[in-house]
Amino acid sequence: MKILIGILICLGAIIGLIVVLLLVALIKTLLTPSKKSEYKAPEADERALDYAHKLSEMIKYDTTSHDGVHDVEKFEGFHKVLEDLFPLVHSNLERTNIDGNLLFYWKGASSEKPLVLMSHQDVVPAEGEWIHDAFSGDIADGKVWGRGASDTKCSVFGFFEAVEELLKEGYTPPMDVYLSSSCTEEWAGDGCPKLVEEMKRRGVKPYLVCDEGGGIITEPVGGIPGNFAMVGVFEKGKADIKLTAKSNGGHASAPKANSPIARLAAFVNEFETKKPFKRKLLPEVQAMFEKLAPYASFPLKFVFTNIWLFKPILLKVLPLISAQAGAMIQTTIAFTMQKGSDAYNVLPQEATLGANMRFIPHQGMDESLNIVHKKAEKHDLKLDIIYASDYSESADINGEGFKLLERIIGETFEGMPVSPYVMTGATDAKCYQEICDCVLRFAPVIYGPEQMAGMHGLNENIEYNCLTGCVDFYKNLIRAM
């Protein structure tokens, strides 16, 4: 009886503690004022339409890049388009062309805190049937259509136009400004590294680098409506890997156990069902959820305001709520390519599986690849690492550079919240981290669901009413330096 009473007392104490903690969380949530993202792009005017026509000309020139192919002549042609569209930039700034990769230098009143504005010229291949031809640059339904419209000729246009207009005013920037644009970003080529080497040769150490990667995202998390400036502060590492299973082959009428495809399937199933990678809420990710909390519906607000209490639950449910959010808390592996026999009735002597990995800081490249290697050995598979690079260091979300960008976003896009953001994809920005302590990823254009779906997909487009804000952001950032 005493044991039962003791158990009941313990149980009551636990329930009481849970009630107290939930009450504290509820009070904290109720005391946190609810907010609403007020920013919407203005209606398109003549200025926006003029910008749309310039971006259209850039899209019309096909700058598709392919892995390992250096087509310098193609990009030289695109440079002529840029020269026609932005003559003052080309006549006033010092231009360096390294194998099609561009670096423009605008001398400022001081060289103490240089600013680098960057985005890439190249685009991914356009396949499938499009509503508007992929390189038409059509202007219709309030949008500019075509490959590169949102990824990312829009931001290349934005900073070139900003400098063009400032030059027209006779403006001299307070600090040196560099415009950097590679032509190999889409396949992680050597374009941006060459530009960084040139900067190192000149002894330039940028104060701030602003690349694409983040952006103005409409509803960044389901249940949080409105436009939010999501500023990428670091990006995950990545690897392309190949797994090979071999056997003696044979006729399919008498299949042996543990055939190559069966072993590969078992390997995939283990990763899909047992999830071997650790989940952790990084400080930058926690800061993002806390920043978004006041804008969320009550259930999400309750959780995001009280991460101190709900962190264990959040780590379990985030991947179920959103693949993007899930990718911010763990290393991921995506199985993308597979090949076996060339005939239905022949067992393969060799079957292969391709996968793409993205490494998180708390379980980086070496540890993550070691996990895959051990699983491969378990299933008698050979692992080949085609390409691998580790995660980048995070910019300081409380530092001067982030605060500066946050202020300029607030001044340019009135009523729009700013949040740190983890890049689950990859950009050229990581190359600059060798020479710059504050590398941020923010393209100042609006990416709604349609634009997000179009990047690397069908019917890529950008709503051109957001282009005026894009240009103004870059102008304001240059002035603020």
Instruction: Going residue by residue through the chain, which has 481 residues, state the pLDDT in tens, using 9 for 90 and above.
Output: 667 666 666 776 677 777 887 888 889 998 899 999 999 999 999 999 999 999 999 999 999 999 999 999 999 999 999 999 999 999 999 999 999 999 999 999 999 999 999 999 999 999 999 999 999 999 999 999 999 999 999 999 999 999 999 999 999 999 999 999 999 999 999 999 999 999 999 999 999 999 999 999 999 988 899 999 999 999 999 999 999 999 998 888 888 888 999 999 999 999 999 989 999 999 999 999 999 999 999 999 999 999 999 999 999 988 887 888 899 999 999 999 999 999 999 999 999 999 999 999 999 999 999 999 999 999 999 999 999 999 999 999 999 999 999 999 999 999 999 999 999 988 999 999 999 999 999 999 999 999 999 999 999 999 999 999 999 999 999 999 9
Omega before 331 within 30 of 0, i.e. cis:
no
Task: Please choose, from the candidates 421, 429, 358, the residue with its C-alpha nearest in 3D space to the C-alpha of residue 387.
Answer: 358
- The residue behind tokens 């602003």 is 210
Specify the domain boundaries for CATH 3.40.630.10 within the chain: 46-235+392-480
* Cβ–Cβ under 8 Å, residues 185 and 122: yes
Cα dist. 343→255, 347, 407 in Å? 14, 8, 61
Distance CA 308, CA 29 (A): 13
Both tokens of residue 439? 């590398």
Task: Please choose, from the candidates 450, 448, 443, the residue with its C-alpha nearest in 3D space to the C-alpha of residue 470.
Answer: 443
Q: What are phi and psi of 16, to 5 degrees?
A: -60, -45
Distance CA 296, CA 28 (A): 15
Q: Which residues pair with 102 in a beta bridge?
A: 97, 181
Cα dist. 99→102, 116, 203, 378, 427 in Å? 8, 20, 21, 45, 19
Global pTM value: 0.92
**What size, in residues, is the chain?**
481
Tell me, what's the pLDDT at 448? 95
Kindly list the strands in the beta sheet with 382-389, ordered across the sheet, starting from the edge strand earlier in the chain.
Answer: 332-339, 350-359, 237-246, 382-389
CA angle (151 as vertex; 153, 202 as ends), nearest 5: 60
H helical segments located in 353-465: 365-378, 400-412, 429-432, 449-454
Both tokens of residue 182? 């590679």
> Residue 37's Cα: distance from chain center in Å?
22
Tell the CATH topology of 237-389.
Alpha-Beta Plaits (3.30.70)
Tell me, what's the pLDDT at 231? 98
Distance CA 295, CA 419 (A): 12
Indicate the SS3 state at residue 7.
helix
* Cβ–Cβ under 8 Å, residues 116 and 436: yes
Neighbours of 472 (CB within 10 A): 18
Tell me, what's the pLDDT at 58? 98
Indicate the SS3 state at residue 451.
helix
Put residue 141 in one of left, alpha, beta given phi > 0 → left and psi -120 to 50 → alpha.
left
Cα dist. 77→57, 84, 150, 237 in Å? 12, 11, 21, 33
Segment holding 210, helix H or strand E: strand 208-218
Task: Please choose, from the candidates 227, 210, 213, the residue with its C-alpha nearest in 3D space to the C-alpha of residue 405.
Answer: 210
Q: What are phi and psi of 2, to 5 degrees?
A: -60, -40
Specify the domain boundaries for CATH 3.30.70.360 within the chain: 237-389
Tell me, what's the pLDDT at 226? 96
Distance CA 217, CA 122 (A): 22
* Cβ–Cβ under 8 Å, residues 183 and 193: no
Contacts of 92 (CB under 8 A, 6+ apart): 106, 167
Distance CA 145, CA 133 (A): 8
Put residue 302 in one of left, alpha, beta given phi > 0 → left and psi -120 to 50 → alpha.
alpha
Tell me, what's the pLDDT at 19? 80
> Residue 425's Cα: distance from chain center in Å?
4
Task: Please choose, from the candidates 242, 270, 282, the residue with its C-alpha nearest in 3D space to the C-alpha of residue 391.
Answer: 282
Distance CA 162, CA 256 (A): 66
Tell me, what's the pLDDT at 2? 66
Distance CA 410, CA 417 (A): 8
CATH superfamily assigned to domain 46-235+392-480:
Zn peptidases (3.40.630.10)
